[in-house]
Amino acid sequence: MKKLLQHLLVILMMVISSFKLFAQPIPEDSLYLGQIPPGNIPIVFNLPVTAGHRACERIAITSDGKEIYYGELNTYPASSYRIKYFKYQDNRWQGPENLFEGFMAPKLSPDDSIIYLQDNTFHAYYSKRLSTGWSVPVRLISQNLKTHYLQKSEMDNFYVSSYYEGSTSDGEICKLIMENGDTVFQNLGRPLNSSLQENDFLIAADESYLIVSRTPNGGTADMYLSFKNENGKWTNPKKLEEPINTPGFNWEYGQFISNDGKYLFFTSGGLSWPSYYTYWIKIDNIIDSLRQTNYSPYLNYQIPNQTDSVGYNFNYTFPDSTFIDDDGNNTLTYSATLSNGNPLPSWLSFDSITKTFFGTPTSSGNYSIKVTAADTANAKAFCTFSLNIENPVTDINDDKQRINDFQLYQNYPNPFNPSTKISWQSSVSSWQTLKVYDVLGKEVASLVDEFKPAGNYEIEFDARNISSGIYFYELKTNTFCDQKKMIVIK
């Protein structure tokens, strides 16, 4: 019995010893395929590829640094693309080996147990880690929804970009909510999402910051950095300057941050396919520095166009929430001119303290007015709106003509929380419906369903009982149908 216990003890020690050996960390000089880490200048991160292909889009590295996954593509749009990987075992890097054919842009879950991928038609997939490797990739979203760069944070939140080639609208960074078979894109709102395309992005594992590539229509892509405020909202993104974003016709995208937060990996290339490489740069000091620099103010809500009449007192105050400064709204000063830079008409005054326009118009006309908000560092944001002054006598016929058109107007404010106003114009008496739908086409509210005479109408929509996200409101009559998008942010 004593000898048996001794044998068992020896076996147990051998098992423990083997676990310790297996769990040994990778030597520091072997991290990142043994390549010398960069400083503050990007250098190429060498990844072997098949002839005619480039290492593009994001890469993925396990928490222990022993596995590196990356995609290779033959062009855009790709007709040949796959996921390859290296693995550190037996004290050396082995690979690259092909992992998945027909997939790109790998991203590991925080615990490395799942790898997220996408195909060339912007459908998201996932594969689970097995004792023998990885499972066959499976579509994550059952509906035929297209997404870009799906990823999961340590808070178990999923994020995606709604950008994809051929989309009818520009991409926006969204939180992906999947509950009870429903899939909802919760837009992260302004200023993170803008009038440009927000496509490739990376959110930090702890959700403290986000790096996004912005692309103007037909233009190139530059990377921007945004931080999450204590209130859960995102700061006005700051552009990563040279040497990360390069001048000229170049794209910087496919971002990945190493698990220790030290290095940024990204793809950069220009008009020729051979110019595309995966680069890396030391980023932690840049991120820390940008936390301390000035935030430029931004336009949060568009000032609606205004209408008044000759001889009547005009008075309009735009709300404090029109412009936002992440350094503090009390730092902003305001001014107003015509959009061409000329002074306001003599009858119109602007009080920069109360943000109020006032005066009595003496003649009809249409004015394009530009409001400027400047912070203490003289960084500026602008908003242009029109002021139409009508003559109540001569404009009667014009009003009759205008009422002969159906028109659905954009809601204001937008984005909003908790309520917004929707207005429309009816050309004839008719049965009218005004309904609100989510992104899947499910009706969430019926605001109007009745017979209405010709005229102008406005209704308030209260979104207290629905979640944040993108919604559509639709006006229908027997002869007219129009739909517009609105965004709920909570």
Q: Going residue by residue through the chain (490 aa), what tens digit of pLDDT does each one get?
A: 445 445 444 454 444 444 433 468 999 999 999 999 999 999 999 999 999 999 999 999 999 999 999 999 999 889 999 999 999 999 999 999 999 999 999 999 999 999 999 999 899 999 999 999 999 999 998 777 889 999 999 999 999 998 766 665 668 899 998 877 778 888 898 899 988 888 899 999 999 999 999 987 556 789 999 999 988 899 999 999 999 999 888 899 999 999 999 999 999 999 899 999 999 999 999 999 999 999 999 998 888 888 888 888 999 999 888 999 998 767 899 999 999 999 999 999 999 999 999 999 999 999 999 999 999 999 999 999 999 998 865 544 454 444 446 788 888 888 888 889 999 888 777 889 999 998 888 899 999 989 888 788 899 999 998 988 888 999 988 777 788 888 887 7
Closest CA to 101 of 121, 77, 81: 81
Nearest to 112 by CA among 167, 70, 82, 152: 152
Q: What is the pLDDT at residue 166?
A: 62
Q: How many CB atoms lie within 10 A of CB 314?
A: 17
Q: In this structure, are residues 187 and 193 in contact, taking their beta carbons and an 8 Å threshold?
A: yes
pTM attached to this predicted model: 0.74
User: What is the DSSP-derived secondary structure letter of residue 412?
Assistant: B
- H or E stretch including 13? helix 2-22
Q: Where are the alpha helices (DSSP H) in 108-215?
A: none
DSSP of 25-43: PPPGGGGGGGPPPP-SS-E
Q: Which two tokens stand for residue 81?
A: 């693309």
Sign for the CA dihedral angle at 9, 14, 18, 23 comes to: positive
Question: Residue 486 has what DSSP assignment?
Answer: E
Domains located in the chain, CATH noted: 31-292 (2.115.10.20), 294-402 (2.60.40.10), 403-490 (2.60.40.1930)
Exposed, middle or buried, 439 (CB in 10 Å: 0-12/13-18/19+)? buried
Residue with tokens 């028109």: 407
Q: List residues bridging with 231 in a β-sheet.
A: none
Place of tokens 């003649």: 363
